[in-house]
Amino acid sequence: MASVNPFDVSDSEEEAERRPNETVDTERRPSEGAPGPPPGNPFSPPADAEPPTLLLSGNRTSPSGEGTAASAVATSAMAGGAETRVSVDLIAAQLLRDQYILTALEFHTELLEAGRELPRLRDYFSNPGNFERQSGTPPAKDQALGPGGPLNRVGSISTLDSLDFARYSDDGNRESDERVAVLEFELRKARETIQALRANLTQAAESEVASQERKNFKSSPEIQEPIRPLEKRALNFLVNEYLLKNEYKLSSITFSDENDDQDFELWDDVGLNIPKPPDLLQLYRNGGSTLSSPRDKVDASVGVAFGDLPGNCTGREPLKKPDLSQQQQSEVVQELEYQLNLLNSEKQSLAEQIKKLQSEIQTLKKSVSSPHPASLELRSQNSPNLSSSVPSLDNGQYLDIRGVSEAENDLASPAAQNTSQPQQPTCNKVTGQPRVQFDQPNRKLSPAFQQALLSFCRMCSESRLGAEVSRIADSEESVMLMLGRCLPHIVPNVLLAKREELIPLILCTACLHPEPKERDQLLHILFNLIKRPDDEQRQMILTGCVAFARHVGPTRVEAELLPQCWEQINHKYPERRLLVAEACGALAPYLPKEIRSSLVLSMLQQMLTEDKADMVREAVVKSLGIIMGYIDDSDKYAQGFELMLLSLGDPSERVVNAVHQVFIPAFAAWTTELGTLHTALIPSLLARIEKLLTQGEHGLDEHKLHVFLSALQSLIPPLFAVVLQNAPFTSRAKPHEDIPSIEVTRFPRPASPLQDMAIIIGSRELLSSLLLLYDHQLEHEGTTGWESLLWVVNQLLPQLIDIVGRINVTSSTCVHEFSRFFWRFCRTFGKIFTNTKVKPQFQEILRLSEENVDASAGNGILTKATVPIYATGVLTCYNQEEDRKLLVGFLEDVMTTLSLSHAPLDSLKASFVELGANPVYHELLLTVLWYGVVHTSALVRCTAARMFELLVKGVNETLVAQRVVPALITLSSDPEISVRIATIPAFGTIMETVTQKELLERVKMQLASFLEDPQYQDQHSLHMEIIRTFGRVGPNAEPRFRDDFVLPHLHKLALANNSQTVESKRIDIAIHLFEAYSALSCCFISEEVMVNHFLPGLRCLHADMEQLSPEHEVILGSMIKECEIKVENRGISDAQGSISIASSLVGEDAKTKFLSKMGQLTTSGAMLANVFQRKK
């Protein structure tokens, strides 16, 4: 039997080229050798023609026994007489000329099946214009429609079951059906073209790898031969088939989506005449044994019996099967050799690493034992053979950015590298590291702060690839070692989009290549290596950039790396712009100081103002913070301040958070060194706040106030650091082990490591020592000569207290912001400072006496925001017993003073709202209110009753039942009517928020006593308070309470108001009733309550408004009409209920029948169209 290899067409193309053209041109199908045409055929050959020759191709067979018949016919024709062979093209031309279109189509199909496509027939049948009906005068025969002019169509021969009766209907219009026939023919032609192209694709895929390359792959088994397109499509089909068979449907769907260029339902889509191999399971089970050669398999679609081959093929010998045992042994030998090579390479790599570590240990020992780095360098210069005594480091030295060792710090000489010759860096003989000099800023940052600041560079050196990136080779031999380590990872992964594996190669080559143009091209490839790098990929690139910068020095960083960043600053992908923003910060320590404060600062400022992506602006702000940590040009202070304000005003919350976490701490550290933190930066922010308060008398811009105040709050830790570092005791601070550790709660939780006091000062031990001396100085020695602290006490605090007194006490946002600021301020500066410096200044201003309250103007200090900010921001800093007693006493005094002075209670209410937000202070506030409940003055008791309304919403129901309701019931029986009236809003709030039925019933009974007790019948103010409370809590109260209690009593009050004789009281009640009914009209009200109480109450109110307020009367009239319409519609809907149910049943029955009819249809479009066709 013949064999077909589905994945190797090694001899098809060579044999096709060697085959004579005459054989291809004259070969015919066996069916063409049938007896000659009948007499009279115009194509009959003349009698004296030569006998025809019939060539049978050796690689083509007939599917049946027609070949034998054809041979016999041909032989008889050769012996019978001399006939002339007629050209196939002439036959086709004659058929088209005589309009034998169907015959020509059949002839064209036969030729296609024989593999002998005729251009004339192909062009004719592929042109739709030859089959369109022409209207009007038919064109002449020489026109382009074809040799015979327009085509006169006839109905094709149809069987009875395939006949479409709609096509032959009586309407006489068959245009659309004929067009469908043409389109069907064109579809068949397109499919044939697809099959032909697929065959060509199969051959092209099989012949893609040249024979010489295959020999190379066979000779080197460790190098895997690349997968060919045909193999990939076949494996994809088998994998998808396996997933479907084993119920991995979701995986199959995902796999199909990722290979959308392949049809997994049709094996023929893999390639033409490719036999389908066994499934994956069968291949796996047979994987242990030697697989038979693909040539031993027979393609069922083209395989033939050996006896059916022509005579010139019978002499071929069958292919010999290879020696299976010999082939298996050779494969085992090759596999073992490959494993041996891998083990040898791993052994060499480990040996080199051991040698490198040993040499580094010796180098470190020598550097530690050396008296001074200068003398060590001098000895290295005077002793040329010193380097020979030190073992070589891995046959080539490396720069490791994962940590700068002591040897690097000791041996790096400022004059080690000439930056004017960046292409030839001189190397230290001892450590092998290039002696590169960086511009050190004239700064005094602590190493801990500097390390914390650089932690925002987002570098990664912990993983294998990160360690590889951070090691830069500086010799050709080391480059080879680097390639040896990286290539095994690159070869299998680069095709799977793991392009970050290329970063070490690119960086090493860019470092050591002598041509600047090539280096620029390599760095361009690095920044464009990944289209949209993710977070991990950006970290790898940044790690490589930093390693490159440390290796080549600041001159080449400026000349080679920065231009790449500048090119990407306006890239369309935000990930690429994010890479630029992060690179500017990561490269800041390795740039010339002039470039830091000019070009890089300008680039980041442009991105901050123009970029629309939040994550890019966030990275820009962090990089600006890093730049502020390395800048030492004092002229840039103004620009830095404007950048701080600009970034604080950013609409993105993540950008603002980055400002507080990175930029402001770094900027404050710079201003600390400049000495302008407390002389310029903080006063500038305070001036802007005061200007905002001056301009905002008619409406304060609370957002800007929040921006400035949050910046001040972030400056509190640096300010306290300035106080500690400029104290009289600073020189005496010595960190040692005996110092007690700092309490965890000593400082507020920092928003960033850069705001941690231990990081700012330098170490936790030093901070602990300074704090002990700080507390001792404040408690025993005073502040004489302590300029920084005196500025805080004498200038900052008075200005802040003055600002607090000018803000609007009714603005809960402003009160909360300032309260948080003072809380962090007092916690940072400590308890002794708060008790001795902050509280006395507030107490001096808040002298708790009636003289300090201007009752007539209402502008006394106790009515300002100073009260709630002092209570919630200063007195709550420390939560010990004496602190709580001080807070309770202050609130009691404020409540008493404001009540007795008849002053507004806004400041007390703001204090209760701010403190009530924290459940810790609920018991404390209830203690204050109980003090008011039992107070001898009715004014104080009335104030306490009103304060309960603010407290009820935040207190849990247990406290409400145990503490609030008993106090309110006590006040509801107070001898003073004003105190009883003041409890009504609190009772209403309980009805709105509490769910316990017992509590609700007690409150309901108390409110009912107010409404039904005869002693309150003429209490106008009580009725107004009840109506106001019902309008406020009614929409949110329980529906049953609203229907059974609120609306009936509102109806009674409206009816009683019609008979009110005092006009002023009547209009007051009417207006409050109007507001209550307006609020309750939005609620769902049952029809019974609507008819019995709501509508009658509205009509009573309408009667009052007709006489008292015509403008309200119009609104009430429309409300009454709407309510009446609602009642009528409900009645109609109830009456139509049974009808709607019946109609819905009928509708459901019709829908069910329709869907069942549709469900019986097949997927045929023709049948679907016939369903909706009009019956004749």
Q: How confident is the model at residue 456 (pLDDT cuts 50, 70, 90)?
A: confident
Would you list the DSSP string of 318-372?
Answer: PPPPP-HHHHHHHHHHHHHHHHHHHHHHHHHHHHHHHHHHHHHHHHHHHHHHSS-
| pLDDT at residue number 622 | 95
pLDDT above 70 coverage of the chain, percent: 68
Over its C-alpha atoms, the chain yields an Rg (Å, rounded) of 48
- What letters, b where the CB count within 10 A reaches 16 and e where it falls short, cover 1132-1169? eeeeeeeeeeeeeeeeeeeeeeeeeeeeeeeeeeeeee
pLDDT above 90 coverage of the chain, percent: 23
pLDDT, mean of residues 940-949: 91
**Residue 446 or residue 644, greater confidence:** 644
Q: What angle do CA 393, 397, 403 make, to 5 degrees?
A: 100
Q: How confident is the model at residue 999 (pLDDT cuts 50, 70, 90)?
A: confident
Predicted confidence (pLDDT) at residue 1053 exceeds the cutoff of 80: yes
Q: How confident is the model at residue 1012 (pLDDT cuts 50, 70, 90)?
A: confident
Write down the H helix ranges in 1013-1161.
1020-1033, 1039-1041, 1047-1057, 1063-1080, 1087-1089, 1095-1108, 1110-1135, 1137-1159
**Bridge-partner residues for 398, per DSSP?**
473
Comparing 28-42, 452-466, 472-486, 868-882, the range with the smallest average pLDDT is 28-42
Residue partners of 738: CB distance under 8 A and separation at least 6: none
- DSSP letter (8 states) at residue 461: -
Single-letter amino acid, residue 921? Y
| pLDDT at residue number 327 | 67
Q: How confident is the model at residue 745 (pLDDT cuts 50, 70, 90)?
A: confident
d(CA 493, CA 258): 18
d(CA 564, CA 603): 12
Highest mean pLDDT (candidates 92-101, 422-431, 664-673): 664-673
Comparing 389-403, 486-500, 607-621, the range with the smallest average pLDDT is 389-403
| pLDDT at residue number 368 | 60
| pLDDT at residue number 683 | 95
Predicted confidence (pLDDT) at residue 14 exceeds the cutoff of 70: no
pLDDT, mean of residues 705-727: 93
* pLDDT tens digits for range 1077-1129: 888 888 888 888 888 888 888 888 888 888 777 777 788 888 888 888 877 87
| pLDDT at residue number 168 | 43
Q: How confident is the model at residue 826 (pLDDT cuts 50, 70, 90)?
A: very high
| pLDDT at residue number 452 | 86
| pLDDT at residue number 497 | 61
Predicted confidence (pLDDT) at residue 1173 exceeds the cutoff of 60: no
Helix, strand, coil percentages, rounded to 5, for the chain: 65, 0, 30
Comparing 109-113, 737-741, 780-784, 901-905, the range with the smallest average pLDDT is 737-741
Predicted confidence (pLDDT) at residue 126 exceeds the cutoff of 80: yes
pLDDT, mean of residues 1158-1164: 44
Phi, psi of 136 (to 5 degrees): 85, -150
Contact by Cβ (8 Å): 587, 549: yes
Comparing 3-12, 211-220, 934-943, the range with the smallest average pLDDT is 3-12
* pLDDT tens digits for range 828-856: 999 999 999 999 999 888 876 555 555 44
Predicted confidence (pLDDT) at residue 630 exceeds the cutoff of 70: yes
| pLDDT at residue number 375 | 37
Tell me the two tokens of residue 1143.
């109609």
Predicted confidence (pLDDT) at residue 556 exceeds the cutoff of 80: yes
Helices 1063-1080 & 1095-1108, crossing angle to 10 degrees?
140
Write down the H helix ranges in 513-613.
516-527, 535-552, 554-556, 562-567, 574-586, 593-595, 601-610
d(CA 74, CA 69): 8
* pLDDT tens digits for range 208-244: 544 444 544 444 444 566 787 888 888 998 999 899 8
| pLDDT at residue number 425 | 41
E-assigned strand segments in 404-524: 471-473
**Residue 403 or residue 879, greater confidence:** 879
**Residue 163 or residue 563, greater confidence:** 563
Comparing 20-34, 78-92, 638-652, the range with the smallest average pLDDT is 20-34
d(CA 940, CA 976): 12
pLDDT, mean of residues 630-636: 89
Predicted confidence (pLDDT) at residue 1169 exceeds the cutoff of 80: no
Q: How confident is the model at residue 165 (pLDDT cuts 50, 70, 90)?
A: very low
Three-class SS of residue 514?
coil
Question: How many CA atoms lie less than 13 Å away from 939 in the CB half-sphere?
Answer: 12
Q: What angle do CA 796, 625, 733 make, to 5 degrees?
A: 55
Predicted confidence (pLDDT) at residue 487 exceeds the cutoff of 70: no
Conformation bin of residue 67: beta by default, left when phi > 0, alpha when psi is -120 to 50: alpha
Closest Cα to residue 52, out of 71, 74, 29, 31?
74
Residue partners of 210: CB distance under 8 A and separation at least 6: none
Q: How confident is the model at residue 1066 (pLDDT cuts 50, 70, 90)?
A: confident
Three-class SS of residue 44?
coil
Q: How confident is the model at residue 434 (pLDDT cuts 50, 70, 90)?
A: low
Q: How confident is the model at residue 81 (pLDDT cuts 50, 70, 90)?
A: very low
Closest Cα to residue 777, out of 738, 829, 735, 813?
829
- Which stretch of DSSP H or E encloses residue 60? none
- What letters, b where the CB count within 10 A reaches 16 and e where it falls short, cover 609-621? eebebbbbbbbbb
**Residue 43 or residue 1081, greater confidence:** 1081
**Bridge-partner residues for 427, per DSSP?**
434
Comparing 183-192, 371-380, 429-438, 921-930, the range with the smallest average pLDDT is 371-380
